[in-house]
Amino acid sequence: MKALEVKTVLDKLHLRKVYLELTQRCNLNCISCFRQNWGGELHEMSQDTLDRCLRDLHANPDLEEIVLGGIGEPTTHTRFNQIVKDLPDVTLSITTNAFFWSDETIDTLARNFERVIISVDGLPGTFEVIRNFDLNRLFNNVSRLIQRRTELGLHRPFLIAQLVLSEYNIDDVSTLIPLLHKHGFMKLILSNLLPQNAEDADKIVYALHDNQRMKQKRNEWLNLCLSNQLQVKFPNIELKTERKCVFIEDGTMTINSDGNVSSCYRFAHPSVEYVFGRRKQVYPYHYGNVNQNTMREIWDTRQYRDLRLQNLANRFPSCPDCDLVDSCDYVNDSQCDCKGQNPSCADCLWTRGFVECI
């Protein structure tokens, strides 16, 4: 894409989608969670920060969707039900573990959300190892939501299951697909494990090239989804030439529970990644805070515009297939790439389609 064309696209790229993290707290302690590498106190969004977010969200004429998600479980926020009522009239989605839903929460979900995305990481035995609770409890809560939706005469929310593929659960998927259909799910989003520790580094099921095993699995799962009337979204299973940052192309902003603004989930919080076995320290990168500036002011900062321009033009290195990856220090963290750009997107597995978000 030529420079002038990229700038034209950039100028037309408005803030259309916001990922809003209501809390960092969660009622579970899943083994693959990014919080496993954290220290310090976890907190929920304060009323002052929330009021500033609500003000800016209502003031944005280009806003199309709000996703309640982030590192915590959004339904555990003490004012969750009232917050949802206060949000602007746009498409609402939520990512949730469906562990504990009060009757009031279920009514809120049924009345207000277009999509409810629920983590379902395997059959009962595997699910309990990963999520630490009984899968039947999840299915019971989904059944309660469907019942409330029916009572209200609604066809939404659209129920989506999300599964993070790994060696822990790859053999569960074929049996899980008809089970998801039976319990009212309409779509399955498959993503890939992004290991947070050395023990899980060899549990990935994607590869740099020639992944025949997963090609066979993918064909099998596709046929099962078709026969069970279940939409499915697959991640990449091999490294491809194409790079696409959906956070950038969708006009997305991520707001942490403390008000800090990042471009995506990856740069929202500190984390450790094992990228094809290589340990990488990922540092948070924030473009501002809604307690000091409006969302519009943050969106229009030079640094934020530069990142969007870099990604739209694909002007950043590719670490996974670089000839120098084994002798390069830039791959050790996300602070800078070999072109001097900060932060570094060069090792991002979201951009390469291995990790999927809604």
Residue 282 bridge partners (DSSP): 271
Rounded mean pLDDT of 155-175?
A: 97
Tally of domains within the chain: 1
**Is pLDDT at 159 greater than 70 in this prediction?**
yes
Helix or strand holding residue 122 (H, E): none
State the Cα–Cα distance between residues 178 and 175, nearest whole angstrom: 6
Q: Tell whether the model's pLDDT for residue 297 goes beyond 90.
A: yes
- The pLDDT value given to residue 227: 97
Residue 204: Cβ within 10 Å count: 20
**Residue 259 lies inside a defined structural domain of this protein:** yes
Tell me, yes or no, whether 164 lies in a domain: yes
Measured CA to CA, the distance from residue 188 to residue 69 in angstroms comes to 18
Q: 53 and 255 in contact (C-beta within 8 Å)?
A: yes
Residue 41: pLDDT over 80:
no
Predicted pLDDT of residue 132: 80
- Closest to 194 measured CA to CA, from 74, 347, 315: 347
In a domain, 358, yes or no: no
pLDDT band of 339, cuts 50, 70, 90: very high
Neighbouring-strand partners of residue 17: 65, 252
What pTM does this model have?
0.94
With H, G, I as helix, E, B as strand and everything else as coil, classify residue 174.
helix
317 in any annotated domain:
yes
Among residues 163, 191, 162, the alpha carbon closest in space to that of 353 is found at: 191
Whether 177 maps to a domain, the answer reads: yes
Q: What is the pLDDT of residue 29?
A: 73
pLDDT at position 55 is: 98
**Residue 160 falls inside a structural domain:** yes
Question: 31-61 burial, b for 16+ CB within 10 Å, e for fewer?
Answer: bbbbbeeeeeeeebbeeebbebbeebbeebe
User: What pLDDT does 160 receive?
Assistant: 98
User: What's the N-to-C CA distance of the chain in angstroms?
Assistant: 26
The tokens describing 317, both together, are 């290195």
**Is 150 within 8 Å of 157 (Cβ atoms)?**
no
Residue type, 113: F
User: Mean pLDDT, to the nearest integer, of 295-321?
Assistant: 95
Share of the chain above pLDDT 70, in %: 95
- Residue 37 confidence (pLDDT) above 80: no
Separation CA 273–CA 260 (nearest Å): 22
Contact 146, 184 (CB under 8 A): yes
Kindly state the tokens that stand for 278: 């290589």
Contacts of 183 (CB under 8 A, 6+ apart): 139, 142, 143
Q: Would you place residue 4 in the very low, low, confident or very high pLDDT band (cuts 50, 70, 90)?
A: low
Mean pLDDT within 215-225: 98
Residue 123 has pLDDT above 70, yes or no: yes
Peptide bond into 343 cis (omega under 30): yes
The residue that leads in pLDDT, 160 or 30, is 160
pLDDT at 237: 98
Q: What is the pLDDT of residues 192-204, one digit of tens each?
A: 999 999 999 999 9
Residue ranges making up the domain that contains 317? 1-352
Integer Cα distance of 348 and 129 in angstroms: 27
Do the Cβ atoms of 200 and 274 come closer than 8 Å? yes
Q: What is the CATH number of the domain that holds 164?
A: 3.20.20.70
Query: For residue 118, what are the β-bridge partners?
Result: 96, 161
CB of 24 within 8 A of CB of 71? yes
Q: How far apart are CA 221 and CA 215, in angstroms?
A: 10
pLDDT higher than 90, residue 266 = yes
